Amino acid sequence: MQHVNLGTSGLKVSRLILGAMGMGGRGWREWVLEEAESVEILKRAVDHGITTFDTCDFYSAGESERILGGFVKDNLARDEVVIATKFGMPLRGDPNGRGYSRKYIKSAVEASLKRLQTDYIDLYQTHIWDRSANIEELVLALDELVSEGKILYAGATDMPGWQFSKALYTADLKGCRRLVSMQNHYNLIFREDERELIPLCHDQGIGWIPYSPMGRGFLCGTRTRQDWGTTARSKSDDFAQGLYFREADFAVAGAVEKVAAQRDVEPAQVALAWVMGRPGLAAPVIGATRPEQVDKAVAALDIKLTDEEAATLEAGYGVRPNR
């Protein structure tokens, strides 16, 4: 497994990052794995040399963090792995029980540290962005956590380009540590951040770690115009159902299947290979609900698409309205 720097920071991450949204319990989502099943996925990832794991306090109401933390504590040397988690979504019902205020950040990090059973978090990231957040307060609070040794680096998820830029120059203005990474939604059927956010990351040396490289399963060759697929997740994923299913999305999915057939590989591997080939990428976040899915994702690292294949995959893309 290759390891690369997260942007211009000194932190090295595995070329594939294992996401833990699917680990926790079926009480949160029907398709989410219970602990024993989650551990099998984690073991397979470690067998392949994956050393970077991404979770969130919101996933299964904290169970994802607890499972990941327990696995690392029981099986791995803490300093040899990178644990990334996220904060900001509502976990409590009180007015200060979510968001990016100093008050909430201070309480959220303590709760995550406890669930993860660790003294520090390698990469602490904002989750679903709140456009009304006080960016200066956020940047200063995260800088304080680094000074306290509770986190080593801070990053963001799905932030509008102009606000992410504001966070970077606010840190410079205040003499604070910058956010070092951006985790954003990106794949062959969702490329809107190519307009501003991704070029900003390239220009500023930000580690780019996109999620949903296979379009939440849409690019795995299992979707039809008549239904959402056969898996528990595809049938219940209201986010994907509200985002994908345009005619342009099916055109791209068809191109993925065509290239996959020509190469005798799976469509999901072609979709992942395309993301892996994007300039400036650090590592994508992949999910798995079966160990063999980890195997196939790792195998996709060896797929190098030609310029002609990439053009075929990109040709049917339909630009989305401004968000």
Q: Would you name the residues annotated as active-site residues?
A: 59
Ranges of beta strands (E only) in 88-192 are: 121-126, 151-157, 181-183
Strands (E), the chain: 3-5, 12-14, 17-19, 52-54, 82-87, 121-126, 151-157, 181-183, 207-208, 285-286
Residue appearing with tokens 């990334």: 84
Give the integer Cα–Cα distance in Å for 265 and 150. Answer: 43
| Distance (Å, whole) CA 130 – CA 29 | 24
Backbone Cα Rg of the chain = 19
- The rounded distance, in Å, linking the Cα atoms of 69 and 137 is 29
Rounded Cα gap, residues 313 and 207, in angstroms: 25
